Structure 1
């Protein structure tokens, strides 16, 4: 397969951000980013302090080793500062015929993911409402839908998180519905989850719209 490998460190670089495979050397940067202002993290799992950042990275890397996730640190290029994290999750390779309950082979360089989720995303307060999120999503969507020739990208959030839902909708993702009583919430309750998606047929228009937003 040509393109970005799954088995070696990958770096995705745009005009505003660079996505780097998340590693322990990012811990101090993540801790500093998360500490600047935590008021927007009510519905989001964000590390707190250096020990919290190290544990956060350990957990993300354990999911990576299982072969179903690729976590990234987000570096803002204008000041070479780590400003958050995002991940590709629930990576799956479609095979036919598909046996009920079969999750498919673990993705690798020869069998790139057919579907993925963009999630576990958070940014420092001073990176929010800037081109950072738009370009992060553009880079990840291009990886899945162009380089890997994937079919679908899922995005989801706590149904109560109006700010996150609005950001997802601005990307051009299609709302699919709410999965009720879906998972434990970060505030100790039970979360309803709002689901969105972008499929391959929609990607050219979505990509054009995102590129135009970054040109403003």
Structure 2
């Protein structure tokens, strides 16, 4: 499995390999809607953006994550971050997550296009047999978005980990299998075409 992070380009969004140069844009993005103030998301605080970048770059150096910065194509505004993680070359499988985007972009099509770009790379370039998504049971917005992508519910892991506020988190697990990918891709392309 090729673990280099490519630049993935769509009509609405561009996913660039995360770098320290994205810091100021990510600080601005996290302020749009106070994204850190949602205990069930992975968005950093303003002060925590630098640490979040360093953590993701360290995980990349260890071969455990491929982190991206999402950038709007029309004006080069930084929207947020997303990643491939839980990379399993033996299956092969990746998870897509640790995603957050500035609030003003919610519902604009940039997130589904980001997921289309990521899944296309996972299935068609990396040869994955499955792509997995996980989210908190409490994050209904994320659960609905994952379901709209065409991912299927695998199950709920009760008391799986702690949320940032210390509460026990139930993790909802979804996946798209390689044999489902053509249908999922067609659905996403149709959805984005009719935006």
Please report the TM-score for the alignment, with normalisation by the length of structure 1.
Answer: 0.86
Deviation for aligned residue 1:187: 2.1
User: What corresponds to 2:42 in structure 1?
Assistant: 45
Name which of 152, 174, 183 aligns with 1:205. 183
Cα distance per residue 1:87-136 (max 9 Å; x no partner): 000111127xxxxxxxxxxxxxxxxxx10000000000111111111100
Name which of 25, 30, 33 aligns with 1:29. 25
User: Structure 2, unaligned stretches of length 5 or more?
Assistant: none
Deviation for aligned residue 1:6: 2.7
User: Structure 1, unaligned stretches of length 5 or more?
Assistant: 96-113
Name which of 115, 121, 125 aligns with 2:93. 115
Aligned-residue Cα RMSD (Å) equals 1.4
- Provide the rounded CA distance (Å) in 2 between the counterparts of 1:31 and 1:149: 34
Deviation for aligned residue 1:160: 1.4
Deviation for aligned residue 1:73: 0.3
Please report the TM-score for the alignment, with normalisation by the length of structure 2.
Answer: 0.95
The number of residue pairs the alignment matches comes to 193
Deviation for aligned residue 1:42: 3.1
Contact (CA 8 Å) 2:71, 2:80: kept in 1 or not? yes
User: What corresponds to 2:85 in structure 1?
Assistant: 89
- Runs of 4 or more, structure 1, over 3 Å off, are none
Determine if the alignment matches structure 1 residue 55 to structure 2 residue 55.
no
Name which of 98, 102, 106 aligns with 1:124. 102
